[in-house]
Every structure is written in structure tokens, then in C-alpha cells.
Structure 1
Amino acid sequence: MEIERINDNTVKFYISYLDVEERGFSRDEIWFNRDKSEELFWEMMDEVNEEADFVMEGPLWIQVQAMDKGLEVTVTRAQLTKDGQKLDMPDDIEERRRMFSNEDGASAATEFDEFEPVFNEPDTKNLEYSYVVTEVDELIPLSRRLQYVPIETALYHFEGKYFLHVSFDEILHSDDDIKDHISVFTEYLQGSPVTIHRLEEYGKEIFKKDALANVLHYFG
């Protein structure tokens, strides 16, 4: 886990999904299991406290951003006035803030009566995904199943494997559509953190567009 101390009241840390799994948690647990997400969060905060000397006192504002390979978490200790009133956070944090505190302002690590989930469900507004296969033929069953679904796909060869990049249109596809389609992709393929930018720069382009349709046409 990488830790960066921003200032006296703010610390940012990054944890990879591999690190999450090595700690005994799965991705599904941290997104959908409240108890597990809280357990992971406080485990990480204990480590932050040890390495960055960030004391968890009073309300905390938490901003969690899902990255390709892990999670970036920004924790800001709310500043209190002399009479114990909380000061508002800056606008950039305010929009996506999460508060972890109890009513009397005691350490948030000791009670969870007013505790909100640390992690929300993955943002369905993520419209791009990558998947990896060893051989192009592995894409044929998926191509047949989705041949009438309007999804933009591209295929690249990179580091000895084939990468299918998938793009959803937020106008054509609702959040529920995206979830349903992703479940189909994960049924057939293994997800990959490799971004389209890396594939375009270092990979060999096989099909720049309509990859699934072309796979079905040329290999099916």
C-alpha cells in the first residue's frame, strides 16, 4: 500500500486489488459487504496511522476512487471550531464526501452506530473495459452471443496475448444494460487492467472497431 501525507489533516493512500486479496478480502466483499468494507478500511487506517502518523480523531471525510488496478482513498480529518462544530470541507471533497463519526466527536474507530459504508457500488459510469485471451478463437462464443448488441469493441495483440477493449455508449446503454453486458463478458473472458492508451501505444492493432463482429466473420 502506498501512502502520501498531503498535509496535517489529509492523507492519501493507494491499495491495489492484489493487495486487497492478499489481506483476505475479495473485490465483491469490499463493494457489497458493509462489514468487510469497514474491516478493510480500518485495517488500512491502522497502517496509515503507523506509517504516516495520522491520528484518527473526530469525524473523517473519505473520498474513494476506483482505479484500473486498485483503489485510491483520500482521508481528511474534519477541522473543529472551539465549540466543537465541524467546518465544511473544500468543494472538491464536499461533492463526494463520506463522514465517519459518532455524535460526541469521539474517535471514529471505536463505534459504528452512525457509520456509513466505506465503498459504494462500482461506478457504472465507467464505460470502458479490457479483457484478455490467449487465442482469438476464444472470442467466437462471445461474438455469437452478442452479435446483435451495439457495443464498440477493438482487438489488439500485446505481450503475446489478445486484448479486447470494450466501450459502452451512455446514450445507448443504461446502467442496468452495462451491468448485464459486463456479466456476459466476465462469463466468457478474464478482465484486464491494461488501458486502451497502452494498447494503442504498445500493442498491435488487429481490429480497431467492430472487433467481435469481425472475429465472427473471419474466424467463426
Structure 2
Amino acid sequence: MRILKVNENTVRIFISFSELSARNISLADFFQRSERTEQFFWEIIGKAREEVNFNLDQPFWIQATVASDDEFVITVIKQDEQIEAEINHIIQNNFNDKKSTPKVSVKTANSDWVYVFSDFEDVLNCLSLIPDVPQLSSALYKYEQEYFLSLGKMTSSRKRKIMEAILDEYGEAILLSDIFLKEHGETIISENAISKLKKIVEDKTVI
């Protein structure tokens, strides 16, 4: 395990696949945030605190990327206060009495991002809160009775973080590719899924 402190808000932790195997943790287990993997995560954060003085004392985001055939890298980023204020504003205005707690968000840094939802109503409720991003590609799939929203790359990290916060309220980010969903799942909406689903929500509201 190697730890690199990029700045006061960001640290990169390089972990070999053999280290995961020694703990009986698969890469899939890690991205699903099981109890065992969460314990491992906080253990490595403890090492980061000891070795490079990185204190995780505020909400944060995680980006996970396969670095080579032998290891992957976890980038931990403390959440910017201004973005946090915007996120809280969105949540408070739309969830009324529901109290929001900071969530760990697992995303791949250099590929599309995919969210899984337990039912279609959760998808609609979530997307009703997401702002329009015309240039963002999106598709909706169904696989094993769950719904998967695939989103393309975004040029604005600010908008992406706000969208992630809303998506995390209803769904869960997973490490899954568009290719897998196309081959093994059912394609519900192949393109412009967000705008089409938001239209469904609007029509329901009018009714």
C-alpha cells in the first residue's frame, strides 16, 4: 500500500489486488461497500492520517480507478464547503423533514458512471430533482429486477458533485459497465434517459 498526499484536501491510496485477496475482499466487494470493506477503508484512512497527516474530518468523495494489472488507486477528496452548501440547499428544499447525512460516493474517474435503483419510482423521484444537463448522455437499463442509470462523462466537476449528492439519496453508485448492461440487461431507454424520464415526471405532476 502506498499513500500520496496531493494537497490538504486530497489523498491517493494505491492498493494491490494481493492486499485485497489477503483480506478475503474482492474488488466487487470493495465497491459495494460491505461492512468488511468499510472497516478496511477506515483502516487505510487511519494509515493516511498517521503517514501523511491527512485528517478526514468533513464530508468527502471517493474516486476509484484501476491503476494497473496489479493495483488500483482510491482518491479521497474532502468536499468543498461551497458545493456542500448548494447540496444541502437542494436536499432541504425537496426532502422536507428527511435529514441528510454525508454519504461516501464511489465513482470511476475515467469512465461512465452507473447508479442502481431498487425500483422505477426511485428513479423518477431522483431525476425530478436533477437539473437539466443537455450535453450529458444517459441511458436506463433493467437487470435482475433493478434499474440501472448510466451517465456519460461531465466536463463540470461542480455540477457532477451536485448531481452525485442527489443520486446518492435514492440509488447507489456501482462499478458496472454500459457494455455489460447492454449485453445482459434490458434496455429501457437507450439515449437521453434523463430528459425523457423528467418529462414523465412532469406529465404525472400535471395529471
Verify the 8 A CA contact 1:37 1:119 in the aligned structure 2: no
Verify the 8 A CA contact 1:29 1:36 in the aligned structure 2: no
Q: 2:47 aligns with which of 35, 55, 74?
A: 35
Cα distance between partner residues in 2 of 1:74 and 1:192: 21
> Which residue of the partner structure matches residue 27 of structure 2?
16
The amino acid that maps onto 2:42 is: E
Query: For 1:1-220, what aligned pairs fall within 5 Å after superposition?
Result: 13=18, 15-16=26-27, 18=29, 21=34, 23=36, 25-26=38-39, 29=42, 33-35=45-47, 66-67=65-66, 74=70, 119-121=74-76, 125-150=109-134, 151-170=136-155, 173=156, 175-218=157-200, 220=204
Verify the 8 A CA contact 2:65 2:109 in the aligned structure 1: no
TM-score under structure 1 normalisation? Answer: 0.48
Rg comparison, structure with higher value: 1
Segments ≥4 residues shifted beyond 6 Å: 36-39
Deviations 1:17-38 (A, max 9, x none): 626855463586377x252688
Verify the 8 A CA contact 1:134 1:162 in the aligned structure 2: yes
Deviation of 1:165 after TM superposition, in Å, equals 0.7
The amino acid that maps onto 1:35 is: K
TM-score under structure 2 normalisation? Answer: 0.50
Deviation of 1:215 after TM superposition, in Å, equals 1.8
More helix by share: 2
**Structure 2 residue matching 1:25: 3-state secondary structure:** helix
When residues 210 and 119 of structure 1 are mapped into structure 2, their CA distance, relative to the original with a 3 A threshold, is closer
Deviation of 1:197 after TM superposition, in Å, equals 0.7
> Which residue of the partner structure matches residue 81 of structure 2?
none
When residues 132 and 24 of structure 1 are mapped into structure 2, their CA distance, relative to the original with a 3 A threshold, is closer
Query: Number of aligned pairs?
Result: 137
Cα distance between partner residues in 2 of 1:134 and 1:35: 35
**Gap runs ≥5 in structure 2:** 1-15, 21-25, 52-63, 77-105
Identity of aligned residues (%): 19
Deviation of 1:139 after TM superposition, in Å, equals 1.4
When residues 123 and 212 of structure 1 are mapped into structure 2, their CA distance, relative to the original with a 3 A threshold, is closer
When residues 119 and 147 of structure 1 are mapped into structure 2, their CA distance, relative to the original with a 3 A threshold, is closer
**Structure 1 residue matching 2:173: 3-state secondary structure:** strand
The amino acid that maps onto 1:203 is: G
Root mean square deviation of aligned Cα: 3.8
Deviation of 1:186 after TM superposition, in Å, equals 1.0
Cα distance between partner residues in 2 of 1:215 and 1:134: 16
**Structure 2 residue matching 1:120: 3-state secondary structure:** strand
**Gap runs ≥5 in structure 1:** 1-10, 40-64, 76-95, 97-117
When residues 28 and 169 of structure 1 are mapped into structure 2, their CA distance, relative to the original with a 3 A threshold, is same
Verify the 8 A CA contact 1:140 1:215 in the aligned structure 2: yes
